[in-house]
Every structure is written in C-alpha cells, then in structure tokens.
Structure 1
C-alpha cells in the first residue's frame, strides 16, 4: 500500500466529513444558526466569545465569571435574599451547565440584610456571567427551568440598562402564582439612577411547563427593536419608536444566567431542594 497516498486520502475524507457536519477549521462550534432563522438567510455569525456548548468537563472560567468565586461579585451583588450566590453551586454535567439551588443553612451567609430587611439564610443559588460583552445581535439558550419555587433566568446587563429575556419560576409555591410555570416575562430596565426603573414589560403564555422539558428561547436586539422567541416562534416585541425616551438599551451587555428566590412568588421548601436549572447551550450571533 502507498502510505503517502493513503494519508492524503484519509485527510481528504476527514475534511469532507468536517464540511458535511458543518464545522469550520479551528472551531469547536458547528455551523449553528438561531432556531428562529431556519432558512439561515439573516446573515448571522456566531460570536464564540459569549457562546458555549458546555461540552468540556469544567466550566471555562476564562469566558465566564461565577459570582462569588474568590470573593468577586459583579456589581457587588450577592444574590436576592433570603438566597445567596455560592460558587460551589455551578458545575458541568452530561454536557450541560447546571445552576443549582440548595438548602444549605450551614453556609457562611452575609451578616447584612437586604434593602427590604430580609436576612440571607438557608438557601444558596448561583449566577454565571459572560466576561465579554456584545452590542446588538441574537442571544439564545436551550434550557429547562429548575422544578421548584426558584427562578431560572436569562438576561443581560450593560451600562445603565438591563434586559430580561425571562425569569422563569418552575413551580411557584404560592397558589395564586401557579400560572407562572407556563409564563415567559420579558423586561427592559433603566439603572442609570442606581434604582430599578422598569421601562417596559410584557409576557407570553407558553404551551408547556418551563420546568417540564428542554426548550429554546431567544431575543433579537438591535438599534430599532427587541424581539422575543420561544422554540423559534415570535412571542413578543417592542420598538424603539414606540418607547421613545424609555428606550435605554444602547450599550454593550454581558450575558447572565442565574437562579434567585423571589419571595413574592413563594419560597422553596427544604424538601424541594436541591434542584438544577439545566442549560444545554448559550449562543450569541451578530450580523455580518
């Protein structure tokens, strides 16, 4: 057998297989496109600096900040009382990012109280934030919310502004909040004054429990509008023209995923925990 010709043949076959599978040279990402753009006609290019398939054994902490790691908290935010972020509640398992909520009364909670006088106690959660930012594009996540009265959120913050793609509650413990387990709430917030000023909010009612199975959620953001998607279907939108001076999303944003306690929706019981917010991927595209 001619070994030189065999090597060339094998190399050519490997390159062909790579092309068929959609992988580019030197990239761990496939040629993936937003679920909302099945025809692949919108000119999206994946921004790998703020995207992750979570297929490694450990979270890439060159790309992601874990709140509380080495005592570092972005925006000096330790979590929403009574829960507190713990870096130990973040792990990679079976190709997914797990954001865990635990009943952990022996955790070393902050001694201070929050602005409403609540103590940090009993419940630990977690937050993961992109170290790099992006300005305009499409952010998408495939996930399953935690199946407890705890939030599972996908959002972004920039200079003086915030966008919440969703803040799911998988199983609210307050009976009058049960509808939240099928609800997708999206919000634009102005932080320029240092206070949370809601500029716009809307919601969509979904056909599934957000903690029941994996689904894909996305948000397209440009200088003129916001559009929100669930499994590729448009479920909400707002334009800059409609909001006028209330439009505050003008600066680059970091991507966040986290879990928090929302006391006004009910707290999880000890027997409901631990529970995971499971994330199969986070992807961000921008226009060519």
Structure 2
C-alpha cells in the first residue's frame, strides 16, 4: 500500500496523470475555464517536458538575447542543464569578478527564453525555487525589436517571481518567499503615444516557502484586457492590465539578482548545489480552439 503525505487523494493523483499526459493544462476538478465545446491545443514551440539530456536550443535561447543579467548577477549558459526530467538553473559565485558593459558581476544565474512568441493562451510550469537570494521566475515579455510605432513599447506578464532568501529589511519583501507573485507591466511608451503605463498584479499564498516543493504556476492570457492567474490548478485572481495586452510575448525562465535584495555578507552561496538550483519539471503553452 502506498501512503501519500499532505492528504493527496487518489482523485487528485489521477487528475495529475491526465494533466501530465498533455491532454490539457493542469487544473483541479471544475477549474478549467475553457468555454463549452472548446479544446486546449499544445503549442509545441513553447512547451517542453525536459526529458532529454540537454536543452533544445532550436526551441530555447540560453544566452540572454542581448540581455546579460542585472548586476551583480550574470547569465551563464553553463549554469543551465537538463537532468532527471528537469530544466535546472544553478546559481553560483563566479571564479573572479567579470566587468561587462561598465558593470561588475560576481554571481552567476541563468536565462532560458523561447524563440517563439504568441498572444492569448494558457501558460504554465511546474517549478521548485532555489534557496538563495537570487530569483526563480516564470514570465512573458514582448520583443520591442520586432515592433514599430506605438507598438514599440513593453508589455510584461509575470506569472511567478520569488526568492529563497530575503536580505533586505523591507517588510513587503517577505512576501517574495512564500507567495505566487504575479504582475502585468506596461512601460517604455514611445513619445506621442496615448498608451497608459503602470503595474497591476496579484499575490496568492503558497502556505510554505516556494523553495520547499514544486508548484504549478499558470496564467490564462484570455484577451487584451483579461489575465487570469492559477496556482496548483486553482483560479485565484483576475487582472486587467494598465494598457492593452495584444502584442506577442516570449516565455522566460530566469534566475537573476534584484536591486532590492543585495548579496548577503556570506556571499549567499553556502548551500548545496541542490539548494542553489531552480528546477523546472515542465513548461507548457496551450491555445484555445473553438
């Protein structure tokens, strides 16, 4: 007989088997928001089970696409591996400081971004955060280089941003440890364009630190002004962005440093390799077909 901890039921387990078989997004019973008669179709170019031996670089870009990281955290391609069915991004201290673009980098993180971009759909991943002061994230952003005129603005859809250690005394930062922290951003508005800028987001408690276990973080980007967030298959918040979200965005799985969460006195890398790694079991993107 198998005994399941944390009250996992056979019904929930069977639901997980269906979801992991890629018949649709991961939802608990009654939470799938698709209209009657519609179906979810997997977008293969923005989905991965990470069951191979290395990153599929035809699908994922791992050097930052011109963005090298926020100092003091540098994106390091060698920090990104695929093993045991996970995409793994490890954090570390660089052998010696690196100076690039006039800034000094002392720590290594990682960047994985989809070449393909799209608009409306359901985006989800199963992730376990690292235990360091560096981030564990899953989000989308547009590529301004692909646009002209008033479309040359930035729209960003954050699904989960968290850290494993808070090094600031700012009270709000504690929420980055044990919440699903989500945001919609509108910024970099071209001069002369009547488009609003601003950040509108949502939070949902995890009941534990994000470093303790895997969680499924999801968002249904339903329309230009509807964004619905889901945690572990359950709906928790609906957000209307400050400006229209109608520009294709690309997926990002990034481990970086934040200005508000500085390097601790001990360097922040005293834990084991496992503690210093963010694990992505899978990432899946779905489009709704009537």
Which of the five TM-score ranges fits, normalised by the shorter chain?
Answer: 0.7 to 0.9
Report the TM-score, using the length of structure 1 for normalisation. Answer: 0.77
Match of residue 189 from structure 1: 185
Question: CA distance change for structure 1 residues 141 and 194 in 2, over 3 Å: closer, same or farther?
Answer: farther
Match of residue 71 from structure 2: 81
Question: CA distance change for structure 1 residues 46 and 37 in 2, over 3 Å: closer, same or farther?
Answer: farther
Which of structures 1 and 2 has the bigger CA Rg? 1
Match of residue 271 from structure 1: 270
**For the aligned residues, what is the CA RMSD?**
2.5
Deviates more, 1:177-186 or 1:93-102: 177-186
Match of residue 131 from structure 1: 115
Provide the C-alpha distance between the structure 2 equivalents of 1:194 and 1:121, rounded to a whole number of angstroms: 31
Aligned length: 245
Provide the C-alpha distance between the structure 2 equivalents of 1:145 and 1:284, rounded to a whole number of angstroms: 20
Provide the C-alpha distance between the structure 1 equivalents of 2:33 and 2:234, rounded to a whole number of angstroms: 16
Deviates more, 1:127-136 or 1:201-210: 201-210
Provide the C-alpha distance between the structure 1 equivalents of 2:263 and 2:201, rounded to a whole number of angstroms: 23
Report the TM-score, using the length of structure 2 for normalisation. Answer: 0.77
Match of residue 257 from structure 1: 253
Which blocks of at least 5 consecutive residues in structure 1 are unaligned? 1-20, 23-28, 68-72, 114-119
Give, in angstroms, the shift of residue 235 of structure 1. Answer: 2.1
Give, in angstroms, the shift of residue 266 of structure 1. Answer: 3.6
Provide the C-alpha distance between the structure 2 equivalents of 1:138 and 1:45, rounded to a whole number of angstroms: 10
Provide the C-alpha distance between the structure 2 equivalents of 1:267 and 1:188, rounded to a whole number of angstroms: 27
1:101–1:273 CA contact under 8 A, matched in 2: no
Provide the C-alpha distance between the structure 2 equivalents of 1:109 and 1:138, rounded to a whole number of angstroms: 39
Which blocks of at least 5 consecutive residues in structure 2 are unaligned? 1-16, 145-153, 192-196
Alignment of 1:158-173 (within 5 A): 158=142, 159=144, 160-173=154-167
Of 143, 149, 154, which residue of structure 1 is paired with 2:138? 154
2:168–2:261 CA contact under 8 A, matched in 1: yes
Structure that is richer in helix per residue: 1
